[in-house]
Structure 1
Amino acid sequence: MAAEETELIENLDRKFRPIFEQYGEEGGIPLRVLREQMEDSANQQMLPASKVDRLLKRADEDQDGYLDYDEFVTLMTMEEAKGMNVRQLTKFQRLVQISVSSVVPRATVNASDQDVLEDYVDHYNCRPPPLFMILISLAELIIFIAYAIDQKNKGIPTTANSGAPLYSPLMYNPRRRYEAWRFLSYMFIHQGYTHIIFNLIFQLLIGLPLEMVHKWWRVGIVYSLGVIAGSIATSVTDSGTLLCGASGGCYALIGAHFAIIIMNWREMTHDWMDGVLKFILSAPVRLLFWSLFAAADIGLAIYNRYTMGPSAVGYAAHLGGALAAGVLIGIPVLKNIDRLPWERVLWWVCLVVYLLIMTMGILFNIFYEGYPPTDWRKCCPDSY
């Protein structure tokens, strides 16, 4: 018997056996009473609400309204009966299953874990299809190409690490902060083709699987707030610097992914050395892979910031997007089917902290007097 199952049975004995013993002469505990006990906050620390509902649906199949303790333990610890979860998945459903595996913990294969995975699959549908990351990536690519052509006509080449159109009304410019849209629209401008390639790889590799599980609007919120958090962070920590690129949104997605990994570390490291697939999808490998990828991108951004002179663009968007929107907004916004009570507390903590940070950033922008002189010229001058 696995250690996890032994621990579960011990917890069940402590929490629920005394309750069942009160109803021994009646042949079991009434399901009404059982539901009341399970809805108690202390018991929910062990039993997520979704598992409670699932248990009671199975338990009431005979419609007798009672459940004895042995049946209760069996239902809580059983492996799925053969054929119970066999699905004649279409190729489309299999694609969803693969996508789910990249953002759902690869825990011990027991009844609870399989149900969580299937719940995520069941919550996905194609109305609407997961197109947010694809459409936003296409928009960024088209705008990059359009400005590259425009600058070529002006005799300004677009290279691996240079070529951002500083005159663009989309670019974040500390001298034109009154044009509030720039705090978001700068994501459509990139500093060279290396910059946009990194961002597109980032957001498609992480964003698409997240979108297939959590819906386009949830991912869109995290991504967009990451972009805004990135520009706010830059305006506070590097107040005289221009800003471009979708790094804030990309790192918000990475931050959300990190939050998922950290919160489910124990489940995602269970038997992680048993096979190549488990190893690749395990928490340590995912964390290492994305950390190295992020380090390379941040390193390139820092290099560009301090070697390209007056036209250098900032890099604080990486950290601002990852911390403020990725972790703090990812936890409240992204779907969590088996939410435990302590996670509800974390939900509010993250939301409040995010709002406080953003409020302080906005107030800093309003009252700080150390920004470059405001440029009131009609949009948009050819250069800065």
Structure 2
Amino acid sequence: MEMGHLRSAERGFDPGNTGYISTGKFRSLLESHSSKLDPHKREVLLALADSHADGQICYQDFVNLMSNKRSNSFRQAILQGNRRLRSKALLEEKGLNLSQRLIRHVAYETLPREIDRKWYYDSYTCCPPPWFMITVTLLEARTRIAFFLYNGVSLDQFVLQVTHPRYLKNSLVYHPRLRAQAWRYLTYIFMHAGIEHLGLNVVLQLLVGVPLEMVHGATRIGLVYVAGVVAGSLAVSVADMTAPVVGSSGGVYALVSAHLANIV
């Protein structure tokens, strides 16, 4: 299906040269110039082109759809076409098992367009699983609980303030005075001020971070999370040179910001 041929045919359907044609005319155009295209793939292409669902398709938007990097996965899916796109909304699907309902929930929580949700639901295979956020969360919980129990046994005091000498001597905590020890810019996420602090961060990481990783992958979400962690320690270095830093709130804020940017 050559773009030049489509462009020439599009002029015939758009004598006023407005740059827009109706979805019905666009379907006829596809049928006449892409006879080898599977009907199901043709419907997918039509749905993607009519992204605003207003019955009008802009030729330039169609060209962008088929050429920009963001649509690579969609273009490959159209060419390979192993799956059929559901004709009704995902929320109307009945008889789904637990894992299918989870994937549908993730699609609606993280993707703004129905067409994107459908493709994600059809193509997600849980391979690889969202290992990054789960691993980081388990390490944070394990380290904090171990520190909690150690203090209880050795000091007979389970909860310590972050200004306690035991905290300041800990090799994981970030303190601006110790900023030459570069590992502290990251390792402070494994220490928390208390169980409540840990619990809140763990819940947010799992509720926000895992769905984002399921959609965008461990590499992207890992970079977002680590950037938030480093930004947190740098911000404290600028704002308060006397305050130690513990907790993964910087990474959590980055995940929440990424989620908001993803759905707006």
Q: TM-score, normalised by structure 1?
A: 0.46
Q: Which residue of 1 aligns with 2:53?
A: none
Q: Which residue of 2 aligns with 1:237?
A: 239
Letter in 1 for 2:60: N
Q: Retained in 2: the 8 A contact 1:161–1:193?
A: no
Deviation at 1:27, TM superposition (A): 11
Deviation at 1:229, TM superposition (A): 1.3
Q: In the aligned structure 2, how far is the partner of 1:245 from the partner of 1:95?
A: 29
Q: Which residue of 2 aligns with 1:149?
A: 149
Q: Which residue of 2 aligns with 1:222?
A: 224
Structure 1 95/234 Cα, relative in aligned 2: closer, same or farther at 3 Å?
Answer: same
CA RMSD of aligned residues (A): 4.1
Q: In the aligned structure 2, how far is the partner of 1:54 from the partner of 1:126?
A: 19
Q: In the aligned structure 2, how far is the partner of 1:81 from the partner of 1:100?
A: 15
Deviation at 1:226, TM superposition (A): 1.0
Any stretches of 5+ residues in structure 1 without a counterpart?
Answer: 1-9, 58-78, 108-112, 263-384
Q: Which residue of 1 aligns with 2:118?
A: 118
Q: Retained in 2: the 8 A contact 1:124–1:215?
A: no
Structure 1 161/208 Cα, relative in aligned 2: closer, same or farther at 3 Å?
Answer: farther
Structure 1 165/13 Cα, relative in aligned 2: closer, same or farther at 3 Å?
Answer: farther
Q: In the aligned structure 2, how far is the partner of 1:27 from the partner of 1:157?
A: 73
Q: Which residue of 2 aligns with 1:100?
A: 107
Structure 1 227/27 Cα, relative in aligned 2: closer, same or farther at 3 Å?
Answer: closer
Taking CA–CA contacts closer than 8 Å with sequence separation of 6 or more, which of the two structures ends up with the larger relative contact order?
A: 1
Structure 1 122/221 Cα, relative in aligned 2: closer, same or farther at 3 Å?
Answer: farther
Q: Retained in 2: the 8 A contact 1:190–1:196?
A: yes
Are 2:12 and 1:15 equivalent residues in the alignment? no
Any stretches of 5+ residues in structure 2 without a counterpart?
Answer: 1-13, 35-44, 50-57, 80-85
Q: Which residue of 1 aligns with 2:194?
A: 192
Q: In the aligned structure 2, how far is the partner of 1:45 from the partner of 1:27?
A: 12
Q: Retained in 1: the 8 A contact 2:177–2:241?
A: no
Letter in 2 for 1:140: E
Q: TM-score, normalised by structure 2?
A: 0.65
Deviation at 1:218, TM superposition (A): 2.1
Q: How many residues align?
A: 211
Letter in 2 for 1:14: T
Q: Retained in 2: the 8 A contact 1:103–1:260?
A: yes
Sequence identity percentage:
34
Q: In the aligned structure 1, how far is the partner of 2:65 from the partner of 2:161?
A: 49
SS at match of 2:241: coil
